[in-house]
Each structure stands twice: as structure tokens, then as C-alpha cells.
Amino acid sequence: MVAAFLIFSPLASATYTVGASPPFQGVEPVLYTTISTVGCHSRADFPLAPRVDATTGAVHERLWASSRYCAGGTVEPDYALAVGTPGFYGPNFTVPASGSYSATYEWAFSYNASLNASGPVNTGYLTSSATAIVSILGYGYLYDSTNSTVLDGNGGGGVALFHEIHEGSWSGSAVRLVVTLENSFALVTGHLYYFETVFLTETEGFANVAGSAWASLNLGTHGDHARLLALHLVSS
């Protein structure tokens, strides 16, 4: 059963906080994956399948995409795409009064990424014949269970934590970047809500006119991972 819990401040009765930190109570894993390819030389995979641990808040995965233009093909550009969307939802909660509330979702993450794209210059669909892309984006929402509605709030729910697009070679990494997603909501007393927060991770390769592209992202080994640190909701 998903638990509900309330924490009231004795010094400021107008302040209402829902807090959660590892080991999480009443929090469940969320995980979606997509692999899509076009072209006879396009491939994508998860060498380390996404794993989500609601007890520790940890997310681990590795993904890659590779595309090389298929001569004589009927579709331009050829492409490969791998998308992982791991995250968490819960706990359930209600608010003591209708009004404006601010939610924060705190994550720490480490990554290692590599990209390579090459080929002759093209003036068609792409600025060159190949493009490689790696993306990490964080999202934080609330879900209104009473109305079966996703609330994306005034902040839009998302932030680009890391995003690279390259026509050429590139590699980079970071260790324990701590980020806080913030969002504002108008909530109604008597409604049942829960948090939802995910990492959208993508590797993409586009290729045409003899081009080739390759992209990889590691959130899985050697300390590379994402971890949900805390959830909070405060009246504003």
C-alpha cells in the first residue's frame, strides 16, 4: 500500500510540508523504454537495462544508438533512437487548505557520454550528413488522483540537466551533480495527490549521404548513476 503522511510545522501553521528521503516510504518505481530505428545499418540498445530502486532512490542504465547511411535507401535520414525514462511516483498526500504550493524534487546524478558523427557536408535535411545527440532531462510533476490529471504546474515540470548535439567527436562526464527541480501548483483540499519525477535519457544518431553517427550514455557503472535525494511540498 502507498502510504500517506503529513508533517506540520508547529511554528508556522500556514506551512505544510511533505518530505521523503531514502529509504523512501510510499514511493514506487516508474520506467518506460523505447527503441526505434530506420535504415539497414541503424541499431540501438540498452547494454545495461534500466533499473529503478524505490528504496534507495537509485537509477542505473546504459544506452546507445548508432546509424550509418544505407546506400539506395528510400528514407532520409536513417536514424537510431534509444530512450529510457526511469523515475518514481508517490507518496500519496492531501493538503489542509486550497491554495498555492511549491514542490521540489532533488536529484544527484553522474554520467559518462560519448558522441561521434562524420561524413560529407549536406545541404538537405541536416546541416551535415550526420548528427549525434545525447540528452538528460529531469521532470517533476504532481498527479491529481481525484481528477486523474497530471499537473505540470507553473514551471512546466522540466529542466534540461544535460544536452549535447554534435557533428563530430565529443566525450564528457560529471560526478554527482546535484540539481533541484522546482514547480508551483494550485492545489485543492480534499483531493488526493502524489509526486511523479523522472529522468528522460536519450541517445540518437541521424545519418544520410554517406554519413554515420554514434552516441552512448552511461548512468550505470563506475559510480555513474542518478539518485533521487528528496521530495518536498510547501505552501507558498
Q: Is residue 199 part of a domain?
A: yes
In tens, the pLDDT along 156-181 reads 888 888 888 887 889 999 888 899 99
Q: Is residue 5 part of a domain?
A: no
Banded pLDDT at 10 (limits 50, 70, 90): very low
Give how many domains the chain has, as a whole number: 1
pLDDT, residue 120, reads 67
Torsions phi, psi of 175, nearest 5?
-120, 125
Q: Is residue 162 part of a domain?
A: yes
Question: 121: which DSSP letter?
Answer: B
Cα distance between residue 142 and residue 94, in whole Å: 12
**Which candidate, 85, 109, 102, 110, places its Cα nearest to that of 197?**
85
Q: Is residue 118 part of a domain?
A: yes
pLDDT, residue 161, reads 85
Q: Is residue 58 part of a domain?
A: yes
Banded pLDDT at 222 (limits 50, 70, 90): low
| Domain membership of residue 66 as a residue range | 33-235
Banded pLDDT at 2 (limits 50, 70, 90): very low
pLDDT, residue 24, reads 85
Whole-Å CA distances, 172 to 69, 115, 132, 134, 217? 26, 9, 14, 11, 10
Q: Is residue 18 part of a domain?
A: no
Q: Give the distance, in angstroms, between the CA of residue 15 and the centroid of all CA atoms in the same chain.
A: 29
pLDDT, residue 233, reads 92
In tens, the pLDDT along 67-81 reads 988 876 555 678 999
In tens, the pLDDT along 106-164 reads 999 999 999 999 876 554 544 567 889 999 999 999 999 999 999 988 878 888 888 88
Q: Is residue 194 part of a domain?
A: yes
Note the pTM of the prediction, 2 decimals.
Answer: 0.85
Taken in order 220, 223, 226, 228, is the CA torsion positive or negative? positive
Cα distance between residue 11 and residue 34, in whole Å: 48
Q: Is residue 6 part of a domain?
A: no
In tens, the pLDDT along 40-49 reads 889 999 999 8
